[in-house]
Amino acid sequence: MSLISSILSNNCPFKMTKPAPVEHVAIIGAGLSGLTLALALHKHSIPCTIYEARPAPLNIGGAIMLSPNALRVLDLLGVYARIRDEGYAFDKLYFRSPADQPVDEYAFGGEEEYGYRGMRIYRHVLIRELSAMVAEAGIPVYYGRKFVRVLSETETGVAWEFEDGDTASAACLVGADGIHSRVRGYLYPGLEPKFTNAIGVTAAVPTKQLQLPVSDGYNLPVTIMNKQQGAFVIAPQQRDGSEVLIGRQKRAPELDQEGWSRLLGDKDWCIDFLRQGASDFPEIVQRAVSEISPEKINLWPFYVVPKLDAWSSTRGRVVILGDAAHAIPPSAGQGINQAFEDVCTYALVVAKCDRDSVGEALKIWQRGRQERVDRVLALNSQIDRRRMPKPAGQEDAEDDGRPFELGWLYKVDFDEMVNGWLQKDAA
C-alpha cells in the first residue's frame, strides 16, 4: 500500500496524524503563476522563495481574461477583492456573422450560475497586486536570478545553479517559468515548444472609435466571423470599458526570436494586416481599424507544449506547471486560467501529502490535471472550428454545432476535486 493510500485509509494507524509537511519550495519565475503559487503555499503554511530572471517585476503586458475557475482561486487567496474593481466585468463572448448578425454566444462567467462574472484585466495590474501581497506575506523574492540548471536531486531535496554561478537548494523546485521553461529542460532535455503556425496581431483603440449602435444593444466582447478573412475580435478593457482590444489570427511559418522581434517591430505590417480585407467585414470593424496607434500594437506567436508523460521528476522534487507543462492556445481563453488551477491544486496536494510521498502525490496530481487540460483542448477545437478560416477545399464545412457546456469548467470545488483524486488512488 502506498504512503498516500495509507494516510487516507481507514485502517491507517497514522490517519489522525498530520503528515510531515514539505519544508521549503523554491519557485522559478515571478510571473502570474509563480506569485500566485507563493500565496497558495503560504496559505498552507509551506515556506517558499521566488527567483526571477528579470531585474524587476514585469510592469507591462496586455489584458488577460479571467474566468470563474481562476477567479475562485484568486478569491480563496484574498486577491479577488483587491482586483475586482480594476477590471472590466462581462458574462458572455458573442459571435456574429459577416453580415453582423448574432449567430452564437459562449459563457465566460455569470455571478448567478457560476459565482463570478468574467473579468478582463491588465496583466500588470494583477502582477502589482500579487507582488504586494507576496511582500505583505514576507515571502522572499529575488530578482536578477536566472536559473540555469539542476545540479542534483535526491529523495529529500534538489540543488541548482544560477547564471552567475551561485547555487541554492530546497526541498522542492517548481518551474513556473513559462512556455520556454528552463526548468522543463531538466525533465525533457532538448524539448522545444511547438509552433501552431498561427499568430495573433492585436491593438488597443478607444471604444468610442467603434461608434457602437445603441438601439439594438450591440454586445461585446464579440468575434465577427468570416470564412475568407478569418475572425475579428473586439474585446473591452479598462474598468469602464473605454478601450477595446482588436485582433486577428493569421497562419504563418515559424520564425526565430530575432525574426519575431523584427516582425513585431514592423508596425506598418501589423497595422496593414489588421486592416486587410476590412471591407469584407461589417462597418464596426472598418471603424475599429481606421485609427491605430503603433504604440498599441502587439504580436503573439502561438506555441504549445507536446503532451508530456510527466510534469515532475521521478522523486518529485522538480515539477513544472502552467505554460511550462501544457501551453494552451487562446481559443477558450483558458491559458492563464488553467495555470491558476495548476497552482491551487499543486499547493493543496503538497499540503495534504507527507513530505516523503511527494513523488507519488504529484503523479496523482498530474493525472487529475491532465484530464481537465484535455477537456479544455477539446473545447478549444470546438471553438476554433467556428473562428478560423477553413482549409482549402473545406470552405463549406460547418462545425458540429454542439453547444458549449461549461459547468464542469467553471463550477469547480478545488478541495473536493483534490480529495477525490487522492481517495481514488487510495481505493
Looking at residue 403, its pLDDT comes to: 66
CATH number at residue 67: 3.50.50.60
Q: Same structural domain for residues 152 and 264?
A: no
Could you list the residue range(s) of the whole structural domain that residue 291 is in? 196-303
Q: Same structural domain for residues 85 and 159?
A: yes
| Overall average pLDDT of the 273-298 stretch | 95
Which residues on neighbouring strands pair with residue 102, listed in sequence order? 96
Instruction: At 177, list the grid cell.
Output: 517559468
How many Cβ atoms sit within 10 Å of the Cβ of residue 381? 13
Q: Same structural domain for residues 186 and 214?
A: no
Domain's final residue, options 284, 303, 322: 303
Q: Same structural domain for residues 87 and 181?
A: yes
On whether residue 97 sits in a domain, the answer given is: no
| Overall average pLDDT of the 105-116 stretch | 94
Looking at residue 153, its pLDDT comes to: 97
Looking at residue 426, its pLDDT comes to: 62
On whether residue 108 sits in a domain, the answer given is: no
pLDDT band at 329 (very low <50, low <70, confident <90, very high): confident
Residue (of 237, 252, 159) closest to 201 by Cα position: 252
Looking at residue 382, its pLDDT comes to: 78
Q: What is the pLDDT of residues 214-251, one digit of tens each?
A: 666 789 999 998 888 888 999 999 999 999 999 998 88
Looking at residue 7, its pLDDT comes to: 44
Q: Same structural domain for residues 361 and 312?
A: yes
On whether residue 116 sits in a domain, the answer given is: no
| Overall average pLDDT of the 70-82 stretch | 98
On whether residue 217 sits in a domain, the answer given is: yes
- Nearest-angstrom CA–CA distance, 43 and 24: 14
Q: Same structural domain for residues 39 and 171?
A: yes
On whether residue 35 sits in a domain, the answer given is: yes
On whether residue 247 sits in a domain, the answer given is: yes
On whether residue 38 sits in a domain, the answer given is: yes
CATH number at residue 273: 3.30.9.30
Q: Same structural domain for residues 292 and 408?
A: no
Above 60 in pLDDT, residue 11?
no
Domain's final residue, options 288, 303, 318: 303
Q: 258 near 416, Cβ under 8 Å?
A: no
Mean residue pLDDT of the chain comes to: 89
Q: 176 near 28, Cβ under 8 Å?
A: yes
CB contact set of 283 (below 8 Å; sequence gap of 6+)? 100
Q: Same structural domain for residues 130 and 278?
A: no
Domain's final residue, options 303, 318, 346: 303
Q: For the chain, what is the domain count?
A: 2
pTM: 0.90
pLDDT band at 411 (very low <50, low <70, confident <90, very high): very high
Q: Give Cα separations from 90 to 66, 93, 220, 236 (angstroms).
A: 10, 8, 8, 9
pLDDT band at 257 (very low <50, low <70, confident <90, very high): confident
Above 90 in pLDDT, residue 402?
no
On whether residue 99 sits in a domain, the answer given is: no
Q: Same structural domain for residues 145 and 70?
A: yes
Q: Same structural domain for residues 41 and 84?
A: yes
Looking at residue 401, its pLDDT comes to: 58
Looking at residue 9, its pLDDT comes to: 44
Q: What is the pLDDT of residues 179-205, one digit of tens each?
A: 999 999 999 999 999 898 989 999 999
Q: Same structural domain for residues 185 and 78?
A: yes
Q: Same structural domain for residues 181 and 211?
A: no
Q: What is the pLDDT of residues 362-391, one digit of tens each?
A: 999 999 999 999 999 888 887 777 655 555
| Overall average pLDDT of the 122-126 stretch | 94
